[in-house]
Structure formats: structure tokens, C-alpha cells
Structure 1
Amino acid sequence: MSEPKKKGLLSGLMRRLSNAQGSGKLVKDPPSRRASEGDIPVRRHRSDRPDVINSRRRPRRPDPRDSKGKGREQPNGHRYEPAPLSEWPPSGISKEEQLTLGHAMELISRGVPAHKGHKRPIPHASDHYYGLYTTTAGNHGDDNDTVNQHDAMTQLTTLSIQGFNQPKYPWETLEQPSLAFGFGGRPGTITLNHWANIFSAIPPPIALRDPGVVPREVDLGSIFERLQDLEAGLEDGNDEVLYRLYKRFLKDPDKLFSPHKTMEKQITDLVMCLSSPDWIDFSNPKNQVVTKFIYDTGPENQQQYHKFFYQLLLSLELELRINSKKHQDPAKERLVAQIPPRIQWNLALARRWRDFVRIEDYGEEPDQIKLRFKMRRRQVSMLKRFAQMMKWPNLADTISELKQRDNEGTLMIVSSHAMAFFSGLVLPGPTFPFLIMNSLIDIDPDKATDNLALLTHLHPHCGFQYRNSYTYWRSACIVGKVLAPTCHEIAGWVGPARPTKDLGRSQIARIRSKKPRQNILTPEDVTSMSDRSDPLGPRSEIYPVGDYDLLTPDTDDIVDTVLLEQVILKEATDKQDSGPQWFDASIQFAIDGVSWPLHLTFDVSFINAWPCSDGPHPLFFDYVYTPRKVDELVDILDWGKPNCRERSFRSTPAGGSKSPEFEPIVGGDDAERVLVVEAFGSSDNEVLARAWCSHWGLSAVVADIGRTCMACAIREAYAATLTVVILVEDQPGDAE
């Protein structure tokens, strides 16, 4: 632990010991929660705050909550619910008073989100590799920091490893970071869990060797015959029937002396067979648009077509055996957790096929295969809604083309991306946003969309302009993250955003950005998260009332002098390849009539704050912060660094003109101090705050003050080791 964090731990504890000694009693942390210098980093002392008076501990005044605690039954059958705080100290409590743990939790911690970090091992990997996650509880409600999955159209972006419809924890999904726990509730944001997961240490793919179990030569008709049989499920009640797997598709290496008739051996053999490097590796992002292997049914693609469906069949045989009724749920969970990642992706494809596709007819040739896609009508409605919410420039003609192709049954032949989207054969992860957008582009009859043909999930930091009308940006792209407050975010796309003169009428742009040098989250930061963001501060037996403040920002004091002028894209001539053009992005603002360009240099993240309840909540004095109005941001340089300065304008002696001077910000060199940006009012204010963060390489917590109080937002910044909080206030109708 660094020396400053050790001092922060000692300052909080010693201050409370001093108060306790003043009353003649030495207080120590409970053994189970006592902090040692080597494990729990805590906030530093805020030296500019006067110490609480060291007096003898006074008896606490009678309070109705002592006998009528929150949630307790009253004689009349009602429950007592304390009102949210409107002042600090609360009425009837002195600033010099010292609270017990129970009373402090009731006054300060009630309704506060409690963040907990998790460091989890990765199967088949050494201790050098791990996954980092967070879970949050304690806000006394069902609300959370994630986007509504249905409204965001992200139903196909995630998949539970265990086969549940909705995973309970972020480590239960195949794709990592987990997209079920990834998109933040505000446009252009991510969740605290996603932020932690970015810093996981993931092992490289394991090199495959000769599996020892080989498949038999099988014609395409036999493959589809078995695929159709499996639509009714697996015949897992008869070992002889199960053993037909070897008679038709696999070679049993122990056929003569010990045939593999048990389901456990068959599962092992299928895993070994699918581990062969001869199969398609669906864990590789290049192969995750799976329909590209079957879109072309011509003679030149026949071998690939055959391999894909043979691999799908063996994956289905494995998936159905794992989920057999003979296996109890705990046994399934243990088994699935041990299956190599590459095989997990095969199981994901098998599950998508089993859920969404049926075989109507088949033969020996690919052009004789006829499939029925159960998801088609739902996907047609989804694409129509997506186009409408994105205000697609050629909307009328595109919707007309969509309806005509749907009636003709020709949607699947538009492109491999459209085939994947309409069929539901979508692997979890980052491909879905490109499948839905490319399906829209491919169905649009306008020839201008030909210029957008190279849009791919392999280049996620991108966007495009269409018909000089609007631009659209991926949520993963820094331009999309910054412009998001002025747009919708749907299915991983931010738009419609303002056009730019720096792109052609219809053109793709890849955006160059750097990784921030700051905001690094370590495994120790994650595992100590709950202690570093505890609303009470270091645990003790007494909690002086004077150690806390109630923060209530003035949401009526709105800055109305910020205007987003233009998005500027400059061609990056030193970074080009065979793909779409690379650009450096910046955004120009008018602030009180003066133009300010901010370069989107760093690919920072914006974390959507967890909502709290019963707020506002008091803030412990060791959580240090500096408030600023959004229009003052451009005067702040190098926030959080030793040379942190703020520009000021002073009159010169000559004749009253103003020249800039730079002064150190009080406490600004504190590496843990949080800059709280009040960006209430116009959405351009929030865009300015986000652009400033990208300019300096500072990720931030974004909090709607109507859902998350200022104190809880600051504590979440400490939990995430971030030093910027952006406060906004959504008004009714903002999302329309």
C-alpha cells in the first residue's frame, strides 16, 4: 500500500480514537473489520477541515427510531419509514454528538449502494490470470445501473454459460465483459462491473493438439437427418440408442474391449473431437458472423458448408448430453465450468440453432436445404423500430423494401449479415450491433449505401455519415461516447448525431484514440472496493456527527452559455491500411461566445452511477472533492497531477485588458481528490464535460442527480479509482 493511503487509514481511525479517548474510553475496530496497513487502502485525511471537538461522549438523545426502527411493526400494523434527510445534522442531533454503529448506519447508510469487488480464477489458467467483477446491493430497490435490455435491443448480445435465460452474475456469461451487465443506463455509458472487467487478465488461447477422437466420413443428407431428429430432443433413456453416435459419426477408440456407452465418456469424446484445429474456431472474432460459412451454397463453398453443419451437429450432440435430465443442476454447472472456451462457443451456436431454427426439407446438396427461422418476424419488427428510432435518412424506401422482401421470403439472401440477424444465429458478444446496422444498410435500396459495405465488428471504433444527413457511431467509439447525451443509444449504436463536413456524403470513419495513462484498476483496488467506498468511513464504535456533510448541489443554477458547434475529423495520414479511413476527432464548443476545440485524444469510459434511495446521503470527510461548473472546465489543466493548475484572468496594469495566469488548484494535486462537474441543463453541457475528459484522459462517473445523490456518486468514483464525477439532471421527456 502507498504511504498516502496508509496515512488516510490512520487519519480516520486516529481521529475517532481521539474522540473516544476524550470520553475516557479506548475504541478499536471490531476484529473482523479491523484494517491492517497491508491490505485495505482508505481515503486520505482532508486537512483543511477543522477537527471535531474532543469532548466526552454525550448520551444520545431519544429518537423514535430506537424503539420504532425501520421496517419494524408498529402497534397499528404499519411500518416506520424514516424521511430522507434535508439537513445535517438532523433535527434533534448536535454536531458534537457521536453516533453508535447502528444509529450511524440508519442515518447515513440507509439506501446507499454497497459496491463489492470480486477477483475470480479462470478455469484451465494459472493464478496469473483472473477475472474482475463487481456486484452492488443496498439501495433498497430493483433499480440498477444497466440499460433496459429490451429497449436497447440487446437480447442476442449475451448468453448464459449455464443455459439460464438471464444470468444472475456477470461471470456467468460466455462473452466477457458480460454484455448483460455491460451497457449503462445512460447513453454512451458502461456499468461499474464492465469498468472492473476491462482490467481482467485473460489468458491467450490454448494451443490444440491431436485430440485422438476422429469423426467419420458422413454425407450432408445424413447430417441433416440427424439434425432434424434432434429437434425432438435426445434419446437419453437408452444407452444403445445413445451409442449410435459412434456407429454414425465418431470412431470409438475402445470399441472392442470397452465401448463408450456411458454419457460421461461420450461427452469427453465429443469435447476431444471438437478440440481439433480442423474445425472452425468460433471464439475467434473473425469467425463470429457464423452465417458467412453457409450463406454461399455454390459448388466452390460446398466443403465449408459441409464442415459447418457437421461441426454444428457434433456441438448439438454435446449440448444435449450436457443438459440431459439425468444430470442435476450442480453437476451441470461444474461440468460446463470445466469445458474449454473454444468448445463453449460451439455450445453457444448449438443453443442458438436449437432455439431459433427448424429444418423443413433437406437433400444431398446445399441448395436442397430448406430452413424455417422462428425469429424472423420478431427481427423484422426490431429492424423497423431500429430504423425509426435512428431516424434513418431513407426511411420510407427502406421500410417498403423490408416489407416486400419479408412477403417474398427473400430476407435471408440479402447478405450474410442479414441472414444472421433475421435467423437469430447470432453469437454473443460484439457482432450484434454490426449485424443489425449492416442489415439495415443492405436492405436500403439507395446505391449510396455501397460506400458503407466495409462496416465490420473487427473495427469497433468507428462510425459513418449517410446522405450528409446524420452520422452514426458505435458505442465503443469515443465520438459516440461523447456525443451520446444528444442522441439515442440503441443496439450498441449512438445516433442520429449531427453531420460533419469532414466526411463524404456517405462514408465510414475509423477513429484513432489512445488508451488513458491514468485510471488503472488493480486487483487489489477491486477486492478492497467495499472498504474504500464505505459510507461510514473506517469502522469504529463511535461515529462523530461532525465527520459528515450533506451535499445538495443547486440544480437551478444552470450554465446556459455552452453550445456544441461542430464535430471535426482530421485525416490521420500516418495511420492507414486497407480498411476504411482513419481520423483524429475533436469537438468545437462555443462557451460564452468564445470557441474552444477539445481533442478526443483518449478512449476514456463513462460509468453510469448506481441509483440510491432515500437520498441525499451524508458524505464522510475523507472523501475529498472539488466542485466546478461545467463552463469552468476548460480552465483546468492536468487534473489529479502534481502540476494541476487553473487558468484565471486578471487585469493588466497597462489599461484594463485581461491576460491569462495559472494558479495551483487547492488540493488539486491530491491523486484521490474528485472533481465534481455540475453539468445541469442542456445536453451540450454534458457533452462538453465528456469531451474534456477525453481531452485529458480521465474516465468519469456520470450521475443523474435525480436518481443518484452527489455523495453516492463521489463514493462510486472512489470505488472505481476515478477522479471525475459529472452531475446531470434529466428532465421528463429527455429520452424522447
Structure 2
Amino acid sequence: MSDGDRPQDSLDRPYMRDVFGIYPGTITLAAYAASFGCPMDGGPPLDGGQVKVRRLNMNYVVSRLRKLKHEGIEDRDPTLLYHELYANLLYDGIMHADDPHRFEMGRQVYDLIDVLARPEWIDFSQLENQIVPEFFYRDDSAGNNKFFHQLLLSLELFLRITSRSPLNNSLGQRHSWPVKVRYDLILAQRWLENVEIESPASTHPAAQSTVTFHFQNKNNQVDILRNFGWTLKWPNMPEVEFILSEVDTKEKAVEDRSVSCMSWFTGLMLPGKTMPWVIMKTLIDCDPDAPPSIKSLSHLAPNAGLQWRGSTYWSWECILGRVLGAAKGVRQICGWLGPLPTSPELHRSEVVLIKQAPPLGHLTPSDIHNMAANSESFPEHEANVHVDDFDMLEPDLEDPTDNIRIERLNFQPATSDSQTLMRILPPGPQKPPRPPSSISGRSASGRSTSSRSISGRSNFSMFPNEPTLYDASITFAIASKSWRVYLRHDTPFIAAYPCKNGPHVLFNAYDFRVVRPDKLTEIKNWGSNIIDDGESETGSEIYYNNEVEEVLIIEAFGVCDNEVFARAWCSYWGLAALVADVDKTCVACAVREAYAASIKVVILNCARMNLGNEVEDVDRTILEV
């Protein structure tokens, strides 16, 4: 959920408005580049004075919140605002009555920023604090009072900086303020847009709220949740629809069913990656048949998914979801992919955490600056360019590969040192042993490829039901043989940007190799340099070369399982890949974009070849029959 129209103006990291690609399981090139950026840093706190905060009565806080919501401070005299602020909320640090800056609006803003930047207030920039209702939807009067006190200070600041009164120029631009304060401003804005306090009573006898809220956009949030559930083909949508209709007076109001429901239906969501988790947990909490075992999802461990009632659903930050995003009938909405096949190795209802190491390769600032030069359509430094220097690349759509099929998903409890090989499985139901990886040594970035840190946590004490961390793999049937491919790396798949008036020609200085998916089993260590070393355990050391010397083009036309296998192969070797539909992006433009982003693999598909195999959509009118 983004708070700005441009990435540089937003607190999102990554910028969520532009993060998802046009194909399920993919991201945009901008999101891929941003993943190598620096964390948000708003600079040091302002050097403020000794402004102290007054103790407040909750009756005053609630009354003031309601007044600011209805009246605001537009066209108010700065002198009157000064008296309201320093007589009720803050102690005035200026003792001289004749100080010329005493009543300036800029000084009031400066003091409010200084107060909110202090560590005793809730830091909503921290990921663990971004589910806002956790701080007022509980039986803790002290915690509730502190939250509403901070909210009131944030509203006072937000309304002053958005009023038409000129501010002191010494405050500078908002992007230079502490990140903590900027999140307080977003919270104030979300509150004014979505929530209104009506009275200090409870909406329902079973509700935990200490005041009565009116949610201005609740109906819109209900409609969005409905669309989310139907798009993912949630298995119990008729029951969810009944709960959302609120026709049964014995049931709780939907916003009072859980903290996630309160967060979703109020619209109090902060910039960042928490919204996909809030909407999924809200859907689960609005399903009366959902067991407790699938309610332990958390945005603090994004490499997760869940299995329930014959389907699995996976987060866009989980490698299994990214790989299976290419499967038949998969939908992606709001960061979730599904429905997907189940696995007999999991419980009927279970939250699953997937062990995934960081991918190989990285982008540097120089790589970003050189994108245009690395992907030029023709060499500008050449005086003469010949027609023979260009090739017209046409995809081979005739007789696509048709000997790859997904057999099953596999899950094995992970250990801290577990490493796996892609190998042919012997006949029979027995599971093969898991030998150590043949990859060892150090990469070009100086990080060990044999003992990478795990994306996710090994200690999941924040979960009530302790989800299990698994090694995930997919077994494919390839030419009458079973291949188990372990999804070892959190590999990104980038959606290629569409081109116009294609196909285009490609300058022959770009090197590439075209293969079919069933030949990937013969390709190892793509993009790496192997140096023989008799003293090492494996007899060789593998170094990942970040420069693109040759692009591997995988023609994954035909059945969707071809592309799933190609993505799984990329995850096994830790290679980012560019995904392109040849009807939207020609081969030449895909290769040039891969060179621009230092990506060594391009996966080609053709959606129109599978139009006859489209999965039937869910009939949403079932409740009207």
C-alpha cells in the first residue's frame, strides 16, 4: 500500500504500487532494481528544544480527535492554534512573552516533530508495529491511551503542515524528517480518511473496542475482500459471504472478529508489505470453518503459504508461489497466488514456511546507471553499421515441448545445513537420500554459496502454532523419468516490458543460447566460472560472475508445466530470470532487457497457445440461485 505517486516520494520499500508484474509470480524491473537499494533513512532527529508533553485525560483526547475530524484547522488564527496546542498538549519552551517567533505556525510544527521523534512513542516504521489496531484493539487501557495520545499529536502535526498557513523555511522538506515521524503523518492521514469516533461506547457487547468507530469505507473494503476471495477460489466463499453480509445479529460485527479484520475494515494500513497479509488473514478470520492451524500467518515471515481443503495458497515473497505462478489456472491478486495443488506430506490444514536462500547476483549503482548503454539497439560508437550485423529472432512455436508434467509437490522438514541436488529419482515410492550440494566456495560478491543465510527465521516464537520450516521441491516427469528439483533460492522472476511494432532485430554483439525446457537437465552452473582446485572437497571452486556474457533463452512454449520447470530450474541454480510472452515482447527486446538488468536467463512463453485450456472461472452467482 503506497503513500506517494512516485517511488522517491513514498515510504514503501519496495514501492508496492509498481511491484507486481503482469504475469503471476513475477515482479517489475523497477521492483527488482529497488530490492538492491538502501533502507529508508530520513536523517537524524531534529535538534529540538526541551518541549514537554502534558498528561491528558482520555475524554479530552476523544473529544479533540472528533473535533479535528469534523472541523480541521483550516483558516484558523496561528495565535489561537498556539493557545490550543500549548495549553492542552505541550508545555511552551519559550518563557519570554515578547519573543517574535512565539506564535509562528512553523514553530508549532517544529515542536510537534521533536516530540513525536522521541523513542517513547510507537515506531510505526518498524515492521512488527505496522498492524495498527494491535495498539488500540486490546484490554490494555494504558496502551490504548498511549496510542490515542500519539494519534492526537500526529493529527495536530498533519493538519498544520497541510493547512494554507506558511511554515518556517528552516523545517526543510518532509523527506528529510525522521522516518518515524513520517509514518505518524501517514497514520494521521489514514485516520482522517477512514475512521470517525462516534461516542465512548462499544459497538457490540462482545467487542473489545473502548470507543465506537464509524468506518467510512467499510463497504468498499467488504467488496474488495469478496473479490479477493472469489479470484483465489477460496473453498468456503459461500460461508464467507454470509458472514460479510452481517444478516445474523448473533454474529460479531466483521470488524470485531480479529485484529486483522479491524485493520482491514478500518482501512488503517500503513505503507509497506503488510496489506497482503492483512487481507488474507481477514479472509481466514471471516471464514467460520477455518481451523486455528491456518491462522498463524504473519507478515514477519513472508516465505509462507497455507494448505486447506484441497488447495494451497502462497505469498508472492515465497519461492514456491513464484515458481508455481506459471502453472495452469493460477491467479495472483494482492500478493497471493492460488489455488495450487496440495501435497500429501502436509496436514490437511497447515501454514507452511519455506526455506530459501538469497539468489546469486546483485545490482550495483553502476549497473543501474549503465542500463541504457548495456541494452542499446545498435552501437553508437560505430561509424558504419551493416545489415549483416543484425539478426531477426523468431520464436519456434512449432512442435513445442510436450514431455514435461508436474507430478507432485514435496516438503521435508529443513535443517540448518540441509543441501540438495537436482537428480533423477529411482523407480518406486521410496524417497532418495539427499546428498550434499556440489556447489561450494565463494561468489564474486564475496558471500559463500555453500552456507548462505536463510530468508526467514529459524525461531518462530511469534506464532501461536509454531509453523514448520520446510525444504520445498517439485517432482517433474520428463521423458519418462522423474526429476526432483529443489527450490533452493529465493529467485526473482521479472516480467518483461511490452514492446511495440515487433518483432525487432537484435545486434549480433548480444550473445545468447536457445534451449528447450527438457534440455535444462543437461545445463549446470550457468553464468558461473569454475576453477579447478585440487585441495577443495569437490575438486573445483565455483564463482558467480555478475556480468552477462551469454543469455540463456528457454522456449517454454506449450503446456504450462514447461514454464514451471524452467522457473524451478532457475530457483535451483539461484538465477534471476526475465519472463516474456512473445505476443507482447519480442525476443530481441527481451534479450536486451536481460542485458540491461544483468539477468542471464530469459523464459519465453505464449499465452495464446493455451487459450483452449483455460480453467473455468468460479460462478459468483451461486448464492442467488
TM range (shorter): 0.7 to 0.9
Deviations 1:652-671 (A, max 9, x none): xxxxxxxxxxxxxxxx9995
The aligned residue for residue 31 of structure 1 is none
The aligned residue for residue 313 of structure 1 is 152
Letter in 2 for 1:223: V
Contact 1:274 1:311 in 2 (8 A): yes
Contact 2:548 2:598 in 1 (8 A): no
1:493 corresponds to which of 324, 333, 336? 336
Contact 2:580 2:603 in 1 (8 A): yes
Letter in 1 for 2:3: L
* Partner Cα distance (2:367, 2:380) in 1: 16
1:477 corresponds to which of 289, 304, 318? 318
Letter in 2 for 1:185: I
The aligned residue for residue 418 of structure 1 is 261
2:478 corresponds to which of 591, 594, 604? 591
* Partner Cα distance (1:470, 1:587) in 2: 16
Shift in Å at residue 349 of structure 1?
A: 0.7
* Partner Cα distance (2:583, 2:95) in 1: 68
The aligned residue for residue 256 of structure 1 is 96
Shift in Å at residue 211 of structure 1?
A: 6.5
The aligned residue for residue 17 of structure 2 is 180
* Partner Cα distance (1:537, 1:691) in 2: 35
The aligned residue for residue 505 of structure 1 is 348
Deviations 1:197-222 (A, max 9, x none): 11113377978799632211111111
The aligned residue for residue 554 of structure 2 is 677
The aligned residue for residue 420 of structure 2 is none
Letter in 2 for 1:550: M
Q: Runs of 5+ in structure 2 lacking a partner?
A: 417-457, 532-544, 618-625
Contact 1:360 1:371 in 2 (8 A): yes
Deviations 1:383-414 (A, max 9, x none): 11211121112222222222236877711210
Counterpart of 1:463 in 2: which secondary structure? strand
> Is 1:339 aligned to 2:168, yes or no?
no
1:565-714 aligned at under 5 Å gives the runs: 565-574=407-416, 575=458, 577-578=460-461, 579-643=466-530, 671-714=548-591
Contact 1:609 1:713 in 2 (8 A): yes
4+ aligned runs moved over 3 Å, structure 1: 203-211, 331-334, 362-368, 405-409, 538-542, 573-579, 668-671, 732-736
Shift in Å at residue 444 of structure 1?
A: 1.1
The aligned residue for residue 240 of structure 1 is 79
Letter in 2 for 1:248: N
1:380–1:536 CA distance, 2 compared to 1 (3 A): same
Letter in 1 for 2:254: L
2:50 corresponds to which of 200, 212, 231? 212
* Partner Cα distance (1:716, 1:371) in 2: 50
Deviations 1:265-288 (A, max 9, x none): 111111100011110000111100
The aligned residue for residue 461 of structure 1 is 303
Shift in Å at residue 699 of structure 1?
A: 0.5
Shift in Å at residue 441 of structure 1?
A: 1.0
The aligned residue for residue 592 of structure 2 is 715
Contact 2:42 2:177 in 1 (8 A): no
Letter in 2 for 1:221: N
* Partner Cα distance (2:202, 2:476) in 1: 63
* Partner Cα distance (1:590, 1:332) in 2: 67
Between 211-220 and 374-383, the greater mean CA deviation after superposition: 211-220
> Is 1:229 aligned to 2:73, yes or no?
no
Shift in Å at residue 363 of structure 1?
A: 7.4
Structure index of larger Rg: 1
1:482–1:211 CA distance, 2 compared to 1 (3 A): farther
Deviations 1:293-319 (A, max 9, x none): 1112x3xx0011111111111111111
Contact 2:578 2:599 in 1 (8 A): yes
Shift in Å at residue 558 of structure 1?
A: 1.3
* Partner Cα distance (2:135, 2:583) in 1: 49
The aligned residue for residue 2 of structure 2 is 158
* Partner Cα distance (1:671, 1:540) in 2: 22
> Is 1:282 aligned to 2:103, yes or no?
no
1:328-367 aligned at under 5 Å gives the runs: 335-362=173-200
The aligned residue for residue 190 of structure 1 is 27
> Is 1:294 aligned to 2:129, yes or no?
no
1:88-99 aligned at under 5 Å gives the runs: none
Counterpart of 1:321 in 2: which secondary structure? helix
Contact 1:235 1:241 in 2 (8 A): no
Q: How many residues align?
A: 543
Contact 1:672 1:721 in 2 (8 A): no
Counterpart of 2:173 in 1: which secondary structure? helix
TM-score between the two structures when normalised by the length of structure 2? 0.82
Higher RCO by CA contacts (8 Å cutoff, separation 6 or greater): 1
Between 550-559 and 257-266, the greater mean CA deviation after superposition: 257-266
Letter in 1 for 2:332: E
1:497-536 aligned at under 5 Å gives the runs: 497-516=340-359, 518-536=360-378
* Partner Cα distance (1:406, 1:351) in 2: 33
1:367–1:195 CA distance, 2 compared to 1 (3 A): closer
Counterpart of 1:212 in 2: which secondary structure? coil
Shift in Å at residue 612 of structure 1?
A: 0.5
TM-score between the two structures when normalised by the length of structure 1? 0.70
